[in-house]
Structure 1
Amino acid sequence: MSVRLGINPLTWTNDDMPELGGDTPLEHCLAEARQAGFAGVELGYKFPRDVQTLAPLLQTASLALASGWYSSHLLERSVEEEIAALTPHLGLLKALGAKTLVFCDMGRHVYRTRQTPLSHSPLLSETEWRHFTQRLDQVAAYCQAQGVQLAYHHHLGTLIETPAEIERLLSETSSAVGLLLDTGHLSAAGGDPVALYQAHAARIHHVHCKDVRHAVLADARNRDLSFLDAVLNGLFTVPGDGNLAFAPLLAALKKHGYAGWLVVEAEQDPAIAHPLTYARLGHDNLRRLCIEAQLDLAE
């Protein structure tokens, strides 16, 4: 039972704000990810979406594909329509050996709209909850049948953001619906990553490790800022550079036998937070903490 350390390309180039790192070539991101010590990467918007092109790029950088984000629209689409939409993404993950699909619904989201504060995060009606969870269960079962585990990404500014929403999602779906535990998004939404993991270890199949600067979070809440403005102000950083305590979470992962990816994900402006510097910092801090927690690291 081992864990692997990966990184999201947001460190170099931002999917939500393409102007951040927009001129950085993908090959540069991959080379520096490996240089920083990571074993794998997640997909980003600059990644080619065909195996014949992407596989050699990953092989050249000696990186595995850890996973990749998929944006769903289950409030508007039928199960059949959603499965048809995600099939190319699912096929790419399977072909490149990724075992987990990062899944997040984009219905009425506000996090990519800089003019909309986080206090306007969308809410589901009772009818929408029923439709959403039923459809999600069926899509997740389809992914499992294809050999890939769906891991739902709770995210600020989306339908599933708060601890209460996460609990309801898990209570109203089957075990086919896995969860991605994101330390930064959960903490910023008022949750406790350790408590969530201990309560739902069997459902958590993927972990995003991002740190939070509490002063920036307090300012964003006090001034009712948007998600993107909070990010630009430095809300998130790599593990060990903010105010979250990662050691208790890693101890819980060890206790419950977590085996999967720990992905460093720090949404920052690369012009301010030098990508390779922060990638190395995140890797080295997380690796040290894993060793201290006696987690088996697959290098």
Structure 2
Amino acid sequence: MNKENVKLAIAPIGWTNDDMPDLGSENTFQQCVSEMALAGFTGSEVGSKYPRDPAVLKRMLDVRGIQICNAWFSTFFADGLKEKTIDEFINHMNFLHEMGARVIGCSEQSKSIQCTTKAVLEEKPHFTEEEWQRVADGYNTLAKLAAEKGMQVCLHHHMGTAIQTPAEIDRFMALVNDDVYLLFDTGHLYYSEGSQQVMMQVFEKHFARINHVHLKDVRDEVVADVRRNRRSFLDGVRMGTFTIPGDGVIDFAPVFKLLDERGYKGWIVVEAEQDPAIANPFEYAKRAREFIREHTGL
């Protein structure tokens, strides 16, 4: 894979989980970014423990050779909170711009059950026609605002949300303008559909508008337990639904092949939230880095 085109990052969620702060509460920000660098990564997304003063954060990252590539942003357009969402987005965008990031990964969280006790595989939300249009209009607005800063907005399809399945991703991408992009997440697509083939079909179909990639693997036996016992998304995370590439059931060879053959330019990010007391973040980061090096040459 072309090292000039593709940069490699890792998310801090393996060290401290922002949705469940007790997972990794003992791990500090400085430990996290130091271990990212030691493991061989040059990029990071932003976690809850990261300083929000760009001058402070830049200094701490520069000395470790780490660059910010993205940070999660929750939108609530379907709920009718357009003005509030846009106001918060502008502040978020300005912070990322100062940090040198050019991609803003957003998740439409209206009706989301990802942080509730609801059964993630049986009780996912759905949008009405009016709600879909609100989402499309909202994301088109965000894309215009981002373009003024030389940035791009992408939608993170996510378990427990109303934009999770291939059909929902297709609908979103058809409704929004071409300057709204997709953050493709291997783990969430496989988790949703239980199929490598479907995951790759979505990847290929929307490849031209994918500007950010999350690499995570899935443990089928945990997903089976989540389904059987009607567990929540967060229950599954605690139990180990996700893991690093090469440690689960997903075959990443075709993922890497498509990225290479079609000349992907941007960041690929290892984002594998687990309980750090069980899956040591530094050890798993090193294993992920070695797996990617072995299979891509990066």
SS across alignment from 2:48: coil
CA contact (8 A) 1:155 1:161 kept: yes
- Work out the CA distance in 1 between the residues paired with 2:96 and 2:153: 11
CA contact (8 A) 1:78 1:135 kept: no
- Work out the CA distance in 2 between the residues paired with 1:123 and 1:197: 22
Equivalent position of 1:189 in the other structure: 192
Equivalent position of 1:294 in the other structure: none
- Work out the CA distance in 1 between the residues paired with 2:144 and 2:255: 28
Query: How far does the alpha carbon of each residue in 1:60-103 deviate from its partner, in whole angstroms, 9 at most, with x for none?
Result: 22101111101111123454432211112101111111110110
- Work out the CA distance in 2 between the residues paired with 1:253 and 1:70: 25
- Work out the CA distance in 2 between the residues paired with 1:234 and 1:52: 36
Query: How far does the alpha carbon of each residue in 1:194-229 deviate from its partner, in whole angstroms, 9 at most, with x for none?
Result: 222211111100000000011111221122110011
Equivalent position of 2:27 in the other structure: 24
Aligned counterpart for 1:285 among listed residues 266, 280, 291:
291
CA contact (8 A) 1:79 1:138 kept: no
Q: Does 1:259 align with 2:262?
A: no
Equivalent position of 1:198 in the other structure: 204
Equivalent position of 2:224 in the other structure: 218
Structure 2 unmatched runs, 5+: none
Structure 1 unmatched runs, 5+: 292-296
Equivalent position of 2:234 in the other structure: 228
Q: Does 1:83 align with 2:86?
A: yes
AA aligned to 2:118 is T
Equivalent position of 1:248 in the other structure: 254
SS across alignment from 1:184: helix
After superposing on structure 2, the runs of 4+ consecutive aligned residues of structure 1 that deviate more than 6 Å are none
Aligned counterpart for 1:155 among listed residues 148, 153, 158:
158
CA contact (8 A) 1:99 1:149 kept: yes
- Alignment RMSD (CA, Å): 1.3
- Work out the CA distance in 2 between the residues paired with 1:159 and 1:148: 25
Return 182-191 or 193-202, whichever deviates more: 193-202
- Work out the CA distance in 1 between the residues paired with 2:109 and 2:81: 15
Aligned length: 291
Shift of 1:21: 0.6
TM-score by length of 1: 0.94
Equivalent position of 1:176 in the other structure: 179
Equivalent position of 2:119 in the other structure: 117
- Work out the CA distance in 2 between the residues paired with 1:2 and 1:131: 35
CA contact (8 A) 1:122 1:158 kept: yes
How do 1:52-63 residues align onto structure 2 when only pairs under 5 Å count? 52-63=55-66
Equivalent position of 1:209 in the other structure: 215
CA contact (8 A) 2:80 2:134 kept: no
SS across alignment from 1:120: coil
AA aligned to 1:71 is S
Equivalent position of 1:47 in the other structure: 50
AA aligned to 1:126 is E
- Work out the CA distance in 2 between the residues paired with 1:224 and 1:256: 39
Shift of 1:249: 0.9
CA contact (8 A) 1:149 1:178 kept: yes
AA aligned to 1:175 is D
SS across alignment from 2:206: helix
- Work out the CA distance in 1 between the residues paired with 2:214 and 2:261: 18
